[in-house]
Amino acid sequence: MESTSQRVSLFGVAALVLFAGAASLSAVRAEPFAGDVPTLVWIDAGWSENEISTSASFQGPNGIGATVDFEDVFDIPGSKATARMFGTARISPNRRYIDFGYVDINRRGSRVLEQDLTWGDYTIVANGSSVTADFNTAFIYAAFRYDFLHVEQVHISGSAGLTWINLSTGLSAQGTINDSDGNFYSSSYEKKASTGAPVPMIGINLDWALTRRLVVRTYTRFFRLNMSDFNGGLNESGVRLNWYFVKNFGLGIGYDRTDLNLKELSVGDGNVIKANYYFSGASLFINLAF
């Protein structure tokens, strides 16, 4: 798992960019933001190589279920390449935008157990039992954003919106099973759970046009929610550099991180998922501007 210093580094980059942008305001020329690049719609679509960490528990109606490190116990890959998309649509001549984005990560792993595993109200005994597990997530984001600083080549804005989280996890096993009544039997076992939940998000964004075709964009957004079916927090942040080699098209590089802390997520019939899950990584984008 990443260290605290690695987490802070992303925010440090954003802070340095913000400071440099503010310091250079007096020197920028009086011209439109990123003068050669349209600002009605921006879309970044590309590929991200993510490092991932997942620890989770699945508790049944009896409240049983130990926390499991998915990458270690189930040999699920700790890295995954996946598609990413971010976008912005301007909805007024200045200052007001709609932001949107999407990323999903699906992983599966299998191995023969080396120690007993409790999942829900059942324990799979490690006497040659084999298990297959999956942990799948999708994050769909939409928000309203407003520039509270809108000066030539530097825009700083606040946002309010929602990240819809789709989460599914499942485990199947073949071997010796111990049920909640203490009975042992040789059998197959399968348990799956999935749910979706909207998480309200607030954030801050910086867009800084370094030149007429070179743009730095950063974002940080977060929230915590405690309600009947969901108790947890979500933090998302990123920074990217876009170079538009022609008016409407460009290339970009970036780094993004998502941290999900699920203290409790109800998935029906008395079942509860708890998880600490993060993914982060560098990205390459194709940029579209209209």
Domain that residue 58 falls in = 4-289
Number of residues that make up the chain: 290
- Rounded Cα distance, 254 and 277, in Å: 21
Burial category of 262 from C-beta neighbours within 10 Å (exposed 0-12, middle 13-18, buried 19 and up) = buried
For residues 275 and 260, the answer to whether their CB atoms sit within 8 Å is: yes
Name the E strands within the chain: 41-59, 68-69, 79-90, 96-112, 117-119, 122-151, 154-178, 184-209, 214-226, 230-243, 249-266, 272-289
Residues 6 or more apart in contact with residue 22 via CB below 8 angstroms: 154
Q: Each residue of 84-137: pLDDT tens digit? A: 999 999 998 889 999 999 999 999 999 998 888 888 778 888 888 899 999 999
Return the pLDDT at 98.
Answer: 97
Return the pLDDT at 85.
Answer: 95
How many CB atoms lie under 10 A from the CB of residue 273?
Answer: 21
Low-confidence residues in the chain, pLDDT < 50: 1-31
258: domain CATH number is 2.40.128
Our count of domains for the chain comes to: 1
For residue 125, which amino acid is it?
V
- Rounded Cα distance, 265 and 268, in Å: 9
Nearest to 199 by CA among 259, 272, 135: 259
CA 267 to chain centre: 20
CA-CA-CA-CA torsion sign (15, 16, 17, 22): positive
Nearest to 53 by CA among 231, 258, 250: 258
Per DSSP, helices labelled H in the chain are 4-23, 70-73
- Rounded Cα distance, 53 and 147, in Å: 35
Return the pLDDT at 87.
Answer: 95
Q: What is the CA radius of gyration of the chain?
A: 22
- Rounded Cα distance, 287 and 289, in Å: 7
